[in-house]
Chain A
Amino acid sequence: MSAVDAAALTAWVREFARLAHEQRDALTRLDAAIGDADHGANLDRGLTAVVAALEAQPADDPAAVLKTVATTLIKTVGGASGPLYGTFFLRAAGALDGDDGRALATAVRAGYDGVVARGKAERGDKTMLDALGPACDALDEAVAAGESLDDALRAAAAAAAAGRDATEPLVARKGRASYLGERSAGHVDPGAASATLLVEAAATALAGRG
């Protein structure tokens, strides 16, 4: 079994969709505190459409799976997380070359770089990058150290969760929350929370693949 084949990527995204649906109200509550209260609903709608699209057109090619995820999210999410997550999957699709942990780490890093470029944000701005960045670093380090894919993704998920939790005291510098200034402190960022679900979904769905 190839570690990171089309079926594995499909399972990853399906698990992300399941988690986003389960956490829909929690994500929306976070967004209600510092944003416009639509993050959970938007992401759930987008990922529900993604699951339907992958069922309607199952792809054998791993990059094609990621491309379908990207274009469906871009089309259906509606809010800023549409182009941001869409760009993540679009760039990851373009960078995916191979089916091992190293290829996955390279693709995820390219996706992260795409989100940085699209959002013109940095770590510490209280955004999804605060979870996604540490996750990429942990994944790269674990893969470089020769750890198994299981261990590498577990480390990435833990790093994402720590990064998410660390957004709570931060003052937002991007997106709607930045209009609140100092009042955005004291709340976990909803984008960092959903990005953590993305990484946790990978750790769960790809478990046992290497």
Chain B
Amino acid sequence: MPVGLVVVSHSRALADAAVELARGMLPGRDLAVGVAAGDVDGGLGTDATAIADAVTAADSGDGVVVLMDLGSAVLSAETALELLDDDLRERVVLSPAPLVEGLVGAAVTAASGAGRARVAAEALRGLAPKQAHLSG
């Protein structure tokens, strides 16, 4: 099973659109990406318990890489780690990558069957093509 991916965002619409964009890189392949986005009322916000649930659902034994937007998304993702079982926590990587570019890199790499360290590394490299292009 591939490494699990979870997107954490203040906005459900933003998270779903980022997932759609990443899936576009993988035509004909069904890569599961969990989403934990928005507050309990459907407004802008993040919820660590929802993140913990999404991470638990996304893990198939090979761990999970979590991509997030900013601010409380980061704090909530870290808080979610505290809510997980000890053995699962060790298999979760919180990626500092930018959400959109990182998710595309992670999705393509996860779909190839790479391990979570490699998936996380490729997520982090997601910004490199844009940086190289605009600095040229």
Residues in A with CB closer than 8 Å to B82 are 87, 90
Q: How far is the CA of A60 from the CA of B43 in the complex (A)?
A: 34
1/0 per residue, CB under 8 A from A, across B26-39: the answer is 00000000000001
User: In the complex where A78-B46, A78-B72 touch, is A118 in contact with B78 (Cβ < 8 A)?
Assistant: yes
Binding site for B on A (CB under 8 A): 42, 45, 71, 74-80, 82-84, 86-87, 90, 118-119, 175-176
Q: Are B47 and A86 in contact (CB under 8 A)?
A: no
Q: How far is the CA of A87 from the CA of B75 in the complex (A)?
A: 10
Residues in B with CB closer than 8 Å to A83 are 46, 48, 72, 75-76, 78-79
Q: How far is the CA of A22 from the CA of B96 in the complex (A)?
A: 38
In-complex Cβ contact of B47 among A75, A80, A175, A176 (8 A)? A75
Decide if B71 is an interface residue (CB 8 Å cutoff).
yes
A43, chain B: closest CB distance, angstroms = 12
Q: How far is the CA of A158 from the CA of B60 in the complex (A)?
A: 51
Interface residues of B in 43-66 (CB under 8 A from A): 43-50
Q: Are A118 and B71 in contact (CB under 8 A)?
A: no
Smallest Cβ-Cβ distance to A81: which chain B residue: B72
Q: Are B76 and A82 in contact (CB under 8 A)?
A: yes
Given A78-B46, A87-B79, list of 17 further CB < 8 A pairs?
A42-B45, A75-B40, A75-B50, A76-B40, A77-B45, A78-B43, A78-B44, A79-B45, A79-B72, A82-B46, A82-B47, A82-B76, A83-B48, A86-B48, A118-B75, A118-B79, A175-B71
Q: Are B79 and A86 in contact (CB under 8 A)?
A: yes
A5, chain B: closest CB distance, angstroms = 25
A67, chain B: closest CB distance, angstroms = 11
Instruction: Please list 26 pairs of residues, one from A and one from B, whose beta carbons are closer than 8 Å in the complex, sorted by A's number.
Output: A71-B49, A74-B49, A74-B76, A75-B40, A76-B47, A77-B39, A78-B39, A78-B40, A78-B43, A78-B44, A78-B47, A79-B72, A80-B72, A82-B46, A82-B48, A82-B75, A82-B76, A83-B78, A84-B75, A86-B48, A90-B79, A118-B78, A118-B79, A119-B75, A175-B71, A176-B71
